[in-house]
Chains A and B, each alone.
Chain A
Amino acid sequence: MTSPTAAAELEVPRRGLAGRLVDAGREQAVVASGQAVAGLGNLAFVAVAARILEPGAFGRLAAFVALHTALHLPGAGLAASGAFDPARARRLERRCATAGWAAAAVLAAWSAPIGRVLDLPTGFVLALAATAPIAPLLGLRRGLAYGGRRHGTLVRSLVAEPVTRCSAGLALAVVAGATGAAWGVVAGGWISCVVLGPARRPRHAASPPRRAGGVAVGVSFTLLALLQHLDLVVANGLLDDAGAASFATLSTVGGLVAFATATLPLVLLAPTEDDEPTRLALALGAALAVGAGAVGLALVAPGTVIEAVVGDEYLGTRHLLAPYLGAMAALGIARVLAAHHACTGRSRRVAVTLVGVTLAFGAGLALFGRTEGTVVAVSTTSLGLAALALAVPSGRPHHAPRRRPWSRARDLDVPFLAGLFVAAVGVRVVTTRSLWIDEATTVAQARMPFWSMLDDLRRTDVHPPLHHVVLWATTRLVGTGELAIRAPSILAGALTVPAAYGLAREAFDRRSARVVAVLAVPAPFLVWYSQEARMYALFMLAGTLAVWAQLVALRTGRTAAYVAWALAAAAMVWSQWFGLLPLAVQVAATVVAVRRRAPGGPAATRWRGPLVALGVLVVALVPLVPLLADQLAEYAERGAGLSPAPSAVGLDASGVERATVSVYAVVANGLWAVTGYHADGVMEQLGALWPLAMLMVLAALGRHWTGRTKLVAGVAVLPALGLFAIGYLKRDLFELRYFALLGPLLLVLAGRVTSTLARTRASLVAATTALAALSVVALVDQQLNGANPRLYDFRGAVHDIVADAGPTAEVALEPEYLHTVVHYYGPDLDTTRVRGLDASRVGEDGIDVIVTERFIGSQAASALVGRSLYELEQRFGPPERIERPNVIVWRFR
């Protein structure tokens, strides 16, 4: 006999995917149309205001709008909370009104001192006071409209606000300037709130049941709103007037993108019986489409977009538009994911994640928010991180039934890794830097005919040929632009993310592997070498794959796995000679492991795989022997390395203390592997944190070290110790890049430690988010802090010269090896050395002298170039000095 419920279920016709999409899309489309009209209205308001107001007044209006938005931040949380749990929100209306009126009274009473503190006219503060009563109410009522699915009312409310702004606001702006426009903004909010009407119970339908997690949803969406506006508030405080106004234009355009996707999560949050995956797919697709479209438009025609929105006065910010819109696109995706997690019972996890991201964002802005560019960089990274953290697949929601083990993870890991790979590529492309001396040399070599390049490598270089061969091929396919020559490294660096995941999963478990993969995306050290057109990213990738393959081989004993290990290890050595050190550790570990294996069969069976691998290694590495011999001979002939090889001259400028190896060198290299490269002052501060290492060692007490952990740790540390010993004979060789495999392997171990210490899922997400946020902060400092001794802005310096003196200008440089990098950026520049320069032969147009800061800081440099510089000064007078990170240009005219 069929139960009534079952019978009712049978009567409901099952709908196909198209039908479900239509259902889900209809309500999104209705609300989005209202939002679009509102967006266009606001856009029109800003566009007209930017034209009719002076830049300073427009900046003040932007600041007011930012404060107005800040006042409405709790409203964002209330809207989400109301949409998610209308029953609970309805009871809050009176309290919201009381709180709003109290805030209004305080603001009005203290308007004058508050105005002085905020550097705003009192009229603006009074306008803020006027908006305070409806700040929480508007959000709450909109949330209730979403939750009650009263989409018509909602659309009317959304449209009423910009209509009021454009009519009353602009009229007031003409009459009373920025203050009038501000009052128009306030009036828009009031009218919108009135249109929504007071909260009341639905008359006919029964109240939906209470849903758990409403507070966490409110907190999450308040934080998301904060994330959207934090940069504008900080920029207004930290940047000068012009900078703040420029950033305000970016924020305005970016706000449009964020605005366009703002309703998607709120519709998703409303209680419904509809199909959740379909609704999520639709909302996510819409957010992705809007974001991608906006970024695409900003890439194709940034100037047009800026001009259309705020006029040509702010065109100077057009190069920042695409990354900033990317940040806003990421925010849109994060909001949808947050709503989805809330609906599936994971609202606490979302809140914890967003707290971490917000703290990281704030810290990043406070530390690096010096220019519009750095603010955009921090925003892009932080919001990208937010989307990434929320995209991490999480476990079983609290109220959901337990699924079969494996099924969920198996389904989600591929998209998870694909997402992280895309994010890794994005981070490595976005956070770019000028070409480095060694890279320019590599490019020059890759431009040679193939056999000439190999011959040059043999005679003048100290590296094996794999990276050069790859670069030789790619330069012929995609040219020698900055991105093109770094593409192999970027790709290898991004592939290291899934490779590290695979290694961690094989060595430990899926939980650790996910942490490792997330941390690998912004890991500063990995990002640094992924951006360098050199062999180190390839070395790290091959090394990571080699350890992974070795673990698989030792576990399964399969010959194919041993062959894979041998091939990856050979690629490691083909990338970097010092790959022989981890290879030696791996071979020793294999011998020990196979010997210890329980004798379950004949010895020949146990040793078959290792012997085949040995054969593959021999075959793969023997061709390198003549090259190695030739390079060693040339190296010895150059004076046992007293002068570095042309492709390693950058070491001179890398800021490494060269006298002897020391504990500090060990600490510094360890810190670089974890935190990336930083200014000397920052490194000193980081070095002072050594007691934390003591704590970590203590925390490792009693932890069982499996053979796998020992292998990973051994391959990470023993080559470094070997090079430390060698460093006593030849200091240059104790340099992190030569044991760069330490970076990804430390990351794998760190992921393991994190997943072991964090017992609950929430604490794991929090710890991973915190570590990723720290990585992002370190990454931003590494890439943007001009005091980083490894950061050389040759690109900017040469562009300055070309912009001022033309592409064929006369340039004197020192030291000599700068000519490759200078010629890369200015191929037609007429270069000569400063040393021995005859000032009388310099043309009438003058000359630019380019030197590295490190070079000019040495006494020997003064002896070498002092006379030439003196003569130039006698002839042309005191030069104009232009400083770029670690590069100085003197302009003699």
Chain B
Amino acid sequence: MSDDPRRRPPSWDPGPPSPARRRALAWRTPLAVAALVLYLTWLAQPARIGNPALYGLLVVAELFNVVHALGFWWTCARAGHRPHRPVTTRVAVDVLIPVYGEPVDIVEPTVAAARRLTGAEVRVAVLDDGGSPEIEAMARRQGARYVRRTVHRGAKAGNINHALTTTDAPFVAVFDCDHVPAAEFLERTLGHLEDPGVALVQTPQWYANADRNEVAAAAGAQQELFFGPISRGRDARGAMFCCGTNMVLRRSALEAAGGFPEDSVTEDFELSIRLHEAGWRTAYVAEVLSAGLGPEDMASYASQQYRWARGCLGAIPRILRARLPLGLRVQYLLSASYFLAGWTVLVYGSLPVVQILTGAQPVAGATADEFLLRFGPYFAMALAMVAVAGRGSYTFRAFALAAASWWIHVRATVAALRRTRGRFVVTPKRGSTGRQPRAVWPSLAAIGVLVVAIVVGLSRDRSPATLNNVTLAVTHLAILAAGVAPALRRRPVAAAATATTREVAAA
């Protein structure tokens, strides 16, 4: 039996929560808002201003998080369930699988599974930008069409757009080459496209290798929060966007939008804006209908995150200019601006360091008692909301990995401001087995700074104020350390994460 994790049944259900959990979320939301207001009104008092510059930074960071917390609660408040719509007519679907240098044993299960899709007349095309003879042979072996471009332009978007010119089915399904679709994928999604106003049906991404790789596990937990309550909530508000894989598109809508935008590294995000501007609607089916492979090492994760961050941050001006209803615009802004969160990590981590080294404090005129009375409930409620809405899927490791990615957001912001052109880098499908300190060096440098601050603080005095800041520094250090730890460990040679060609052929 194959050891490919993508062949196992999914261990995650992104579907709607139980009534009890929905009630739990409902009564917590007003409490969370009240706690937030209590904290913000306390913090906003002029008497709280310590060092004005630090106070300003703290307030900006807190406001950013508050906006995102409110956005999250607002989105989750309507996280409902889209009922299944059965397919009533048999249609043709072009299943496009872009490939760019991935090994055959990664791609072949996807092609084989695509060939087995039911519920429509399926025409599978392998879009090989890598020009690999092995991939070509595999496509032939699996009975799929092999498409190779002569002019390589526009990365993945260009590859798909080229394929669109050689195919003609009214619907187009796109799968990344490591995402193995379930046989009923089209049966569960095509029904929604019978509504002529719907341009896109998106389904979740689920990392099947999460149980055998800690980076994939943490990245998978982040995905589960997004494709769980957030995507269900977006769908309820008509704001689900295209996520690049595991989706079905209406060809006419796609062509009307000019195909996938080739000038963005997040072509899916940009395409969604165009579709919504043109008045098309999108749908989200909260069922795991494909199994993919998450990034298995820190370099892959960093590369993926940078691409997303660069693309989304670069899209902010486009969102502001877009002709979108307010609710949709806010949802897009929330998604795009999430990638500024790294700046808040930088601010929070810097505050204790600055206090220890210079004595400057952002907040004044408050005892720890008063601060905790306001901040404690807000902090606790914010986490409780994440825990309840995400049904415990969002883990500390996911949080730590996100926090340790602060520098990716900073770098992407700078690149977006300088309008440096992003480059589409395919996320590696197999992780490195060695240590990768270079992939996380900014966080390692931050850890070094925190260590210095801690040593300086402890050697200076043991007053409660200093100890408090030292402990804050220790807290940041622990979070960053947990985030970068996978990069500093050797990974055993990957237990065969994928099926061999022979196994696929046998299957």
A contact set with B: CB distance below 8 Å: 662-664, 667, 684-685, 687-692, 694-695, 697-705
Which B residues lie within 8 Å of A700 (CB)? 396
Of B376, B394, B465, the residue contacting A701 (CB under 8 A) is: B394
Select the stretch in B203-211, B228-236, B466-474 that faces chain A. B466-474
B398 contacts the other chain (Cβ, under 8 Å)? yes
Q: Is there an interface contact between B478 and A695, defined as CB atoms closer than 8 Å?
A: yes
Question: Known contacts being A667-B372, A702-B392, A702-B395, is A691 close to B464, with CB within 8 Å?
Answer: no
Which A residues lie within 8 Å of B397 (CB)? 702
Which B residues lie within 8 Å of A667 (CB)? 369, 372
Q: Which residue of A lies closest to B372 (CB)?
A: A663
B393 → chain A closest CB, angstroms = 7
Question: Known contacts being A688-B471, A689-B467, A694-B379, is A704 close to B369, with CB within 8 Å?
Answer: no
Of A684, A704, A705, the residue contacting B464 (CB under 8 A) is: A684
A685-B461 Cα distance, complex, nearest whole Å? 11
B107 → chain A closest CB, angstroms = 32
Q: Is there an interface contact between B462 and A691, defined as CB atoms closer than 8 Å?
A: no
A690-B395 Cα distance, complex, nearest whole Å? 21
Q: Is there an interface contact between A701 and B379, defined as CB atoms closer than 8 Å?
A: no
Q: Which residue of B lies closest to A684 (CB)?
A: B464
Which A residues lie within 8 Å of B478 (CB)? 695
A72 → chain B closest CB, angstroms = 33
Which B residues lie within 8 Å of A688 (CB)? 368, 464-465, 467-468, 471
Most buried by A among B397, B465, B471, B478: B471
Which B residues lie within 8 Å of A689 (CB)? 467-468, 471
A700-B468 Cα distance, complex, nearest whole Å? 22
Residues of B443-478 whose CB lies within 8 A of A: 462, 464-465, 467-468, 471-472, 474-475, 478
Q: Which residue of A lies closest to B370 (CB)?
A: A663
| Given A691-B475, A701-B396, A702-B396, 15 new contacts (CB under 8 A) | A664-B369, A667-B372, A685-B462, A688-B467, A688-B468, A689-B468, A689-B471, A692-B475, A697-B379, A697-B380, A701-B383, A701-B399, A702-B387, A702-B395, A703-B395
Question: Known contacts being A663-B369, A698-B396, A702-B396, is A685 close to B467, with CB within 8 Å?
Answer: yes
Question: Known contacts being A663-B372, A701-B383, A702-B393, is A691 close to B472, with CB within 8 Å?
Answer: yes
A667-B371 Cα distance, complex, nearest whole Å? 13
A323-B474 Cα distance, complex, nearest whole Å? 38
The 8 closest A-B pairs by CB, nearest first: A702-B395, A688-B464, A688-B468, A688-B467, A691-B475, A691-B471, A701-B396, A695-B475
B213 → chain A closest CB, angstroms = 15
Residue pairs across A and B with CB atoms within 8 Å: the count is 75
B53 contacts the other chain (Cβ, under 8 Å)? no
Question: Known contacts being A687-B464, A688-B471, A689-B471, is A697 close to B383, with CB within 8 Å?
Answer: yes
A701-B399 Cα distance, complex, nearest whole Å? 9
A720 → chain B closest CB, angstroms = 15
A663-B396 Cα distance, complex, nearest whole Å? 26
Question: Known contacts being A662-B369, A687-B368, A700-B396, is A694 close to B475, with CB within 8 Å?
Answer: yes
Which A residues lie within 8 Å of B95 (CB)? none
B79 contacts the other chain (Cβ, under 8 Å)? no
Q: Is there an interface contact between A691 and B474, defined as CB atoms closer than 8 Å?
A: yes
A689-B372 Cα distance, complex, nearest whole Å? 12
Q: Which residue of A lies closest to B398 (CB)?
A: A702
B387-407 near A? 1/0 per residue, CB < 8 Å: 100001111111100000000
Which B residues lie within 8 Å of A699 (CB)? 396
Question: Known contacts being A688-B465, A702-B221, A702-B398, is A663 close to B471, with CB within 8 Å?
Answer: no
Prevailing SS type, chain A contact patch:
helix
Q: Which residue of A lies closest to B464 (CB)?
A: A688
B60 contacts the other chain (Cβ, under 8 Å)? no
Which A residues lie within 8 Å of B464 (CB)? 684-685, 687-688
A133-B471 Cα distance, complex, nearest whole Å? 46
A695-B370 Cα distance, complex, nearest whole Å? 20
List, sorted by A's number, 20 A–B pairs whose CB atoms are closer than 8 Å: A662-B373, A664-B369, A688-B471, A690-B468, A690-B471, A691-B474, A692-B471, A692-B475, A695-B475, A695-B479, A697-B379, A698-B383, A700-B396, A701-B386, A701-B387, A701-B398, A702-B392, A702-B397, A702-B398, A704-B392
A684-B368 Cα distance, complex, nearest whole Å? 11
Most buried by B among A667, A694, A704: A694
A664-B372 Cα distance, complex, nearest whole Å? 9
Prevailing SS type, chain B contact patch:
helix
Which B residues lie within 8 Å of A664 (CB)? 368-369
A408-B385 Cα distance, complex, nearest whole Å? 44
Q: Which residue of B lies closest to A705 (CB)?
A: B392
Which A residues lie within 8 Å of B462 (CB)? 685
Which B residues lie within 8 Å of A698 (CB)? 383, 396, 399, 479
Most buried by A among B379, B395, B398, B475: B475
A684-B471 Cα distance, complex, nearest whole Å? 13
A663-B399 Cα distance, complex, nearest whole Å? 27
B353 → chain A closest CB, angstroms = 14
A840-B467 Cα distance, complex, nearest whole Å? 54
Which A residues lie within 8 Å of B372 (CB)? 663, 667, 690
B91 → chain A closest CB, angstroms = 41
Q: Is there an interface contact between B474 and A692, defined as CB atoms closer than 8 Å?
A: yes
A331 → chain B closest CB, angstroms = 31
Q: Is there an interface contact between B380 and A701, defined as CB atoms closer than 8 Å?
A: no
A877-B463 Cα distance, complex, nearest whole Å? 41
Q: Is there an interface contact between A663 and B392, defined as CB atoms closer than 8 Å?
A: no
B479 → chain A closest CB, angstroms = 7
A695-B392 Cα distance, complex, nearest whole Å? 17
A705-B388 Cα distance, complex, nearest whole Å? 12
Q: Which residue of A lies closest to B477 (CB)?
A: A695
B492 → chain A closest CB, angstroms = 15
Residues of B334-388 whose CB lies within 8 A of A: 368-370, 372-373, 376, 379-380, 383, 386-387
A704-B393 Cα distance, complex, nearest whole Å? 9
A702-B222 Cα distance, complex, nearest whole Å? 11
Which A residues lie within 8 Å of B399 (CB)? 698, 701
A691-B477 Cα distance, complex, nearest whole Å? 12
Residues of B28-71 whose CB lies within 8 A of A: none
Of B368, B387, B465, the residue contacting A690 (CB under 8 A) is: B368
A663-B398 Cα distance, complex, nearest whole Å? 31
Which A residues lie within 8 Å of B370 (CB)? 663
A695-B396 Cα distance, complex, nearest whole Å? 10
A249-B71 Cα distance, complex, nearest whole Å? 71
Q: Which residue of B lies closest to A695 (CB)?
A: B475
Which B residues lie within 8 Å of A692 (CB)? 471, 474-475
Residues of B117-158 whose CB lies within 8 A of A: none
Which B residues lie within 8 Å of A702 (CB)? 221, 387, 392-398
B457 → chain A closest CB, angstroms = 11
B192-205 near A? 1/0 per residue, CB < 8 Å: 00000000000000
A471-B252 Cα distance, complex, nearest whole Å? 88
A663-B377 Cα distance, complex, nearest whole Å? 11
Q: Which residue of A lies closest to B478 (CB)?
A: A695
A688-B457 Cα distance, complex, nearest whole Å? 13
Q: Is there an interface contact between A663 and B468, defined as CB atoms closer than 8 Å?
A: no
Which A residues lie within 8 Å of B475 (CB)? 691-692, 694-695
Which A residues lie within 8 Å of B376 (CB)? 663
B404 → chain A closest CB, angstroms = 13
Q: Is there an interface contact between A663 and B387, defined as CB atoms closer than 8 Å?
A: no
B290 → chain A closest CB, angstroms = 23
A218-B394 Cα distance, complex, nearest whole Å? 45
A697-B396 Cα distance, complex, nearest whole Å? 9
A479-B372 Cα distance, complex, nearest whole Å? 49
Q: Is there an interface contact between A691 and B468, defined as CB atoms closer than 8 Å?
A: yes
Q: Which residue of B lies closest to A700 (CB)?
A: B396
B416 → chain A closest CB, angstroms = 29
Q: Which residue of B lies closest to A757 (CB)?
A: B396
Which A residues lie within 8 Å of B383 (CB)? 697-698, 701
B350 → chain A closest CB, angstroms = 15
A700-B386 Cα distance, complex, nearest whole Å? 12
B428 → chain A closest CB, angstroms = 26
B302 → chain A closest CB, angstroms = 22
